[in-house]
Structure formats: C-alpha cells, structure tokens
Amino acid sequence: MVTDSKPIPNHRGLIVGNYTHDILLHNNNIIAESLGGAASFISTVLDSLSLPFHLISKVGPDFSHKTAHLPLVVPTSQTTLFHAHFGSNHPDRILRRVKSCDPITPSDIPAGARFLFGMAVGVAGEILPETLERMLEICDYVFVDVQGLIRRFEDEDGCVRHVGLKESGFFHLLPKVAFLKASEDEAEFIDLEEVRKWCCVVVTHGKDGCEVFSKDGCLMVDPFEACQVDPTGAGDCFLGGFAAGIVKGLGVYDAALLGNFFGSLAVAQVGPPKIDLNLVQVVKEEMNKRKVHDSPCLGKINELLVFRKSHDQDQFYKSLVAAKDMIMCHTQKNGWNLLSSSKEVEQNNVKAKLVLNSVQQEPIPSVVGSEP
C-alpha cells in the first residue's frame, strides 16, 4: 500500500479504523443500508466540532459512499460488510461480519508525521498490535476502543465474539494508552480492576450514561434522553465527543457528559448522524465556557482526571439539554425531524432508507461473497 510520506502539520489528530458497509435486518428482511465503521461516526463528530485530523481507513473498489475523508482503496480486497440482525425473538442486535477488508499496518501511517492525539477505532480486526504500537509512538496520547482489540469472528457465519483482553495480544500496550473505552458487555472481558491501574477506562451503559475509572477513583456521568431508531454507532459518537472534549480542554466529567450527548444524537438516526450546525455552535460555546486547559498534553492527563463534580457541572448538563431541545423544536418547525424514521433521510455521508413501520420484503443474500 502506497501512502503519503509527507508530514501532516495541520492535523491535530490521527483516526485509524476501516469504513464499512452496514446492513440492518429485521426478521431477516433488510430495513436499512448505511455507511458504517467507528471511523465514520467519529469523523462526523470531530468535523462538526472543527477538530482537524488525518484519517486512515481501507476499503475495496466496491465502496459505495462519498466521504469527507477519503479512504485508501485496496484493489484486491472488498469493503468490510456487517449484517446487524434484529428480530421479534431477539430484540438485542446480533452482529455478523460478512466481508473483511485488509488490516491497517504501520506502513499505512504517514512517515514523519506526529499528532497531538490518536484514536484506534477498529471494528473488524483491522488494527494490529504493531499498528497500535506505532500510534502510541507518534501521538501524544491515544484513545482506544476495546472492540477493535477483543473482537473475533466465527469462521462459519462471521458472528462476533470476544476474547479476554489479556489474550488479545494488546494487553502489554495498556500502560501507554491514555483512555480505553468499552461497552458494558465488553467490560466483562477486560478485567476492569486490573486495567484501571494502567490507564483510564470509560465504560458506556447506553441509556444509563457511563462510568469513568482510574486507579484512584470512579464517577458516574448522567445520560441524555433519546428516541432510539438504531443503536449502531452510539458508542462511536460517544467516544468522538469524549475525545473532542479532552482535546478541547474539558475535564473528564464534562468530556464524558459531551460523549453521552453525542451518543444520544447517534441512536436517533441510521448511519453517521446529521448534526445541526446551530446545535453545534451552541455546544461549542458551552465547551469554551468549561475549558480547564487550552490544549492537554500527556503530562496533563492526570490533571484532567478530577473525579468529582464541581458545583456548576449540573449547569453544563442543563445547557446541553436546552440546546438539544431548542434545535429539535427548530428542525420540526422547518419540516425536518431529526428523529424521523418513516421517510428517506439524506445524511452527511450516507443515504439510508428507513422502513421501520412497514418492513421491506427483501431477503438476505445467500452468497457471502456478493454485495447486496
């Protein structure tokens, strides 16, 4: 793979993880198709907050979406494809990897580049231990989504399973990781009490908010109400908001609150969320009021880990709720409902046909190697 070897001085961040094609199915019938991959959701959040970054993502020639950040096209590979199954008998999502693109290697990272922060956000096993190690060398601090480290896939049907973090091949790198994010289910595989000794761990609990752990403390961060259309990408948008908050100088509690905020936007849409610019401007203003550092560096991470709520942190939450309510009212008056699930919605980087009231009768393709 040939990559640009020039330094990238104007990019503060490095995002590593493949784009995917995502198909949602209900009782084996397709109800939506969208752009996927944690990198697509996170880039939407960071772009909305005007946080520059360089993205490394691999796809095949069959990649069917327009993106603001171009991927590397591998001529001999196919774009990673996931099927997310929902059904009357199993309301929880069953995720299957149907196709897999090539992994991202250290040689894909531009030579000579250095970044303030990095985000290792694989979804299909595309991030290798040596790739994460390279990121840790060239980024001042790195956010890692544990799903990219512990996911494994069944040979027969591609069904996602997990291995213990200690058996993943990544455990030895934890002392160099700044923040490790895990869902409530994934946290069972990481040995939380051990891992929190080495790095800050953020565990998301969906509608119940999140918890942040360090070796010295723990705090619970409140959720935001949301009308869920599709949970895919909620954790990714959370991580994007959380990372943006840290990079922009927020304390850990406020950054986690910002993560919950963006996660609540993600579940209301299929695919990377369309984020209203008016909403984002209000959020930016609130973030500027809450800054505790101009620009954190590795040496300041411990200063950010203040595990207590200040007297005015409830006000930050109320401000974000008010901003969300105001923009929701505005978009409804203008005939576009952010939470609409019955019409075709054109989003930033995706067109998703939502048929949640009347299921489209389209069976799952029987040939794994063919694009639906």
Active site residues: 236
Q: C-alpha distances in angstroms, 225 versus 197, 202, 310, 313, 324? A: 32, 20, 23, 18, 10
Residue 127 CA to residue 116 CA, distance in Å, equals 20
Q: C-alpha distances in angstroms, 274 versus 44, 69, 201, 234, 267? A: 8, 16, 28, 13, 11
DSSP string covering 131-144, please? HHHHHHHHEEEEEE
Pair 153, 113: CB distance under 8 Å: no
Q: Which region, left, alpha or beta, applies to residue 202 given φ > 0 means left and ψ of -120 to 50 means alpha?
A: beta
CA angle at 44 for the pair 218 and 323, rounded to the nearest 5°: 70
Residue 80 CA to residue 126 CA, distance in Å, equals 10
Q: C-alpha distances in angstroms, 56 versus 76, 161, 193, 243? A: 18, 25, 32, 17
Tell me the residue type at 316. Answer: F
CA angle at 112 for the pair 111 and 115, rounded to the nearest 5°: 105
218-221 and 210-213 strand pairing:
antiparallel
Query: Helix, strand, coil % (nearest 5) of the chain?
Result: 30, 25, 45
Minimal CA–CA distance to 186: which of 212, 209, 205?
Answer: 205
